[in-house]
Amino acid sequence: MITNTELEYKGNLYPNKITDFKQEKDKFYFTSENGVILELTVLRNSAIRFRYATDYNFQPDFSYAISPDASRGYNKLETLETKTEYVIITSKIRVLVDKSTLRTQISDIEGNIINEDELGFHWEENHEYGGNSVKMSKITQPAESFYGMGDKATHSNLKGKRVSNWVTDQYAFSKDQDPLYKAVPFYIGLHHNHAYGIFFDNTFKTHFDFAHERRNITSFWADGGEMNYYFIYGPEMSKVVRDYTDLTGTPELPPLWALGFHQSKWSYFPERNVKSIAKKFRDLKIPCDAIYLDIDYMDGFRCFTWDKKRFPDPKRMIQELYKDGFKTVVMIDPGIKVDSDYWVYKEALENDYFCKRGDGPVMRGKVWPGECSFPDYTNPKVRKWWAGLYKELMAETGAHAVWNDMNEPAVMEVPSKTAPLDTRHDFDGHPCSHRKAHNIYGTQMVRATFEGVKKYVYPKRPFVITRAAYAGAQRYASTWTGDNVATWEHLWIANVQVQRMCLSGMSFVGSDIGGFAEQPNGELFARWVQLGTFHPFFRVHSSGDHGDQEPWSFDKEVTNIVRKFIELRYQLLPYLYTMFWKYSNDNVPMLKSLVYYDQEDMQTHFRTDEFIFGDQILVCPVQEPNAKGRRMYIPRGQWHNYWTGELVVGGMEKWVTADIDKIPIFIKEGAIIPKYPVQQYVGEKKIEVLTLDVYYKLGIETSTVYEDAQDGYDYAKGSYSLRNFKLNGKENELVIQQFKNGTFITSYETFKINLIGLPFKVKKIIIDTEEITLKSVKLNGSNSFEVTKDFSTLHLIGA
């Protein structure tokens, strides 16, 4: 007789009543009668970790995502017990754990429910692979909205959507296609002006349903592993994002040139073509800091080699490009060609560094070189070896930066597009299959790359780029949104994706400007450059199959528009560098969706197009052809039109004129925007004057300018210049106070002050209690003048 045990046991299993409770400092353990243990850890006053075990057994506690520098600590922790529940109380939140079901409810101290379980934790045995599928369902609160989740090509508000995380090479992906290249299982919930975040730290394929299947239920689950999630309370969305970013980490400051304009193509070769592209940039006076070499620079696509016919002397070429202000960025993929005469392959094979199949042999898959094997970057020994491979490329040949592509890992000509699921990985001493390691494979590759590049470009700073990423990858690399398409729809997608990535802890991000696949017309290319000017990573990249995509590839009008916006980017570099410092130092996203900027305004909850660049510049790209302007939402407050100087009252939708040579840009009233002169590349000119565009406000506004040597690590020892400005505008006066920290001495001695929107004519200037003659500051009407950079108080008085 055959008994169908699958039918007998198939289905969800649930915790039952709690039979044991204990506390160990900041950890609380709740054990159910049927062997479920909830480990609840208080990390901060507003951050709680929930971790569930079945069969009384936790898996090893290990995470690639959590930063070793993540903040910990709280100032209040109490525990209460009632007849029906346990209550854990911090200074910010109350957590109720139901004694009969192990379900939880989280409220603020006033009793407002923030997040609560529906079915709560449950699980299902996986009869195909073993282990469990782990699940969590929550009650969707009235009018709740959802944001985050990293690389998703869909509306910024995820209400009603279902998405999954399985990093995937999706060439020419479409709107709403999922999954894509990143796995960031973090979302932000917002209801009743209370924001919270949930980070589901599970590297298996994960799924999220934001009231899609059932309109009042939000759920998330994974195909294996552990139910392990972090709850972060705001109530401000800005605090949630900052605390999540603190949890998973931020990058160190990049070299300033990494924030300039970069030009790439699949592929620039041979050497004469690379040099020709570089010369054209300089001849046309279009600023550019980096040129990229895609896979065709290699010898038969073998990583860490050069095609000596196309590039007979790469060291000389890189040096010559550098003299003209260009840094050379080279691609490295994970697929190592199966070739017994190839030194990288031989070293990896001899040292047992390749991933293996479940039945023993080395795993192989087809990529650009043909048959390849793949290093197991989850093995610390392999990462150390991989980092060492960059010595010749960086320290000896002189490449300036590295670009890791195809690192999902992408495998061609198989339906899964990746390695077999039974491929084995070390997982830093926690052996597992590809089901668990797939989503973090690319992150561990770029981690090893980062360590190698950092070592071999020292004392300069490293710059590394990755396509595939899991939460926490931002500690090692910048990224881009993958193989997009030259369409107007993809311009919209790029805007939404980059905003979402910034909300998800990964701010150093951009898109392939103009589209990777197919060919844009000049108007689309110009509009995309306008958007890219305000993205942290600013690169044109395209497939060589569809024509040229350099700034001069269209008509003269487009070339001039592109030059104009690239020049604007270089002027704004001190503002952008300050944004990056705030991201790196204070966990503040570089771009802010309007809902992040003003969550109290319900009109922002479904806006996709507008965003705040840094803290004080509002940008809204034009995303339709033949447009002479567009309607956009101006957030609350007052904003100066960048092009006209007009002062606009926010909190409403407005038509804004923006012909092909402009996009809507508004500056927050009271802002002080620092600008450098236009340079053809970072470091071309000695900065002799720092321009400060001062936008009048009746009231108080603060601004910041961070500067250092633009490369190297002296800033970590205090050699930086941090200027905090406080502007106080009155009807007939304007007072600017400056507070300076750091020991770095800037190359300039003078500020050029441009006054915008000043309602009075300047009659008197007082600097640090001393009245200055208008002639001595070169007053140009009442709009522009020069002052020493070291003032403490600048007082302008009108007639």
**Active-site annotation, residues:** 405, 408, 483
- Residue pair 32/102 in contact (Cβ under 8 Å)? The answer is yes
Residue 44 Cα to chain centre, angstroms? 24
Return the bridge partners of 707, or none.
721
Report CA torsion sign: 58, 64, 68, 71.
negative
Q: Which amino acid is at 462?
A: P
**Rounded to 10 degrees, what is the CA torsion of 110, 113, 114, 116?**
140
In angstroms, the CA 725 to CA 714 distance is 24
Q: Which amino acid is at 374?
A: F
User: Taking CA 689 as the corner, what is the angle to CA 686 and CA 691, rounded to the nearest 5 degrees?
Assistant: 125
In angstroms, the CA 598 to CA 760 distance is 31
Q: Nearest-CA neighbor of 239 among 46, 41, 475, 71? A: 46
- Residue pair 670/723 in contact (Cβ under 8 Å)? The answer is no
* Distances, alpha carbon 343 to alpha carbons 229, 303, 350, 382, in Å: 43, 10, 10, 15
Strands 93-98 vs 85-89: parallel, antiparallel or unpaired: antiparallel
How many beta carbons lie within 10 A of that of residue 663, not counting itself?
Answer: 27
How many beta carbons lie within 10 A of that of residue 239, not counting itself?
Answer: 17
How many beta carbons lie within 10 A of that of residue 726, not counting itself?
Answer: 16
* Distances, alpha carbon 534 to alpha carbons 154, 175, 290, 529, 674, in Å: 20, 22, 18, 9, 15
Q: How many CA atoms lie within 13 A of 576 on its CB side?
A: 26
- Residue pair 579/252 in contact (Cβ under 8 Å)? The answer is no
Using CB atoms within 10 Å of the CB of residue 231, give its burial: 0 to 12 exposed, 13 to 18 middle, 19+ buried.
Answer: buried
The tokens describing 180, both together, are: 């894509």
In angstroms, the CA 396 to CA 389 distance is 12
* Distances, alpha carbon 746 to alpha carbons 66, 716, 751, in Å: 36, 16, 11
In angstroms, the CA 310 to CA 269 distance is 6
Phi/psi-derived region of residue 626, left when phi > 0, alpha when psi is between -120 and 50, beta in every other case: left
Residue with token string 């017990």: 81
Strands 750-756 vs 784-788: parallel, antiparallel or unpaired: antiparallel
Using CB atoms within 10 Å of the CB of residue 537, give its burial: 0 to 12 exposed, 13 to 18 middle, 19+ buried.
Answer: buried
In three-state form (DSSP H/G/I as H, E/B as E, the rest C), the secondary structure along 399-432 is: CCEEEECCCCCCCECCCCCCCCCCCEECCCCCCE
In angstroms, the CA 379 to CA 448 distance is 10
Backbone angles phi, psi at 72, to 5 degrees: -135, 160
Strands 464-466 vs 401-404: parallel, antiparallel or unpaired: parallel
- Residue pair 698/731 in contact (Cβ under 8 Å)? The answer is yes
In angstroms, the CA 541 to CA 549 distance is 8
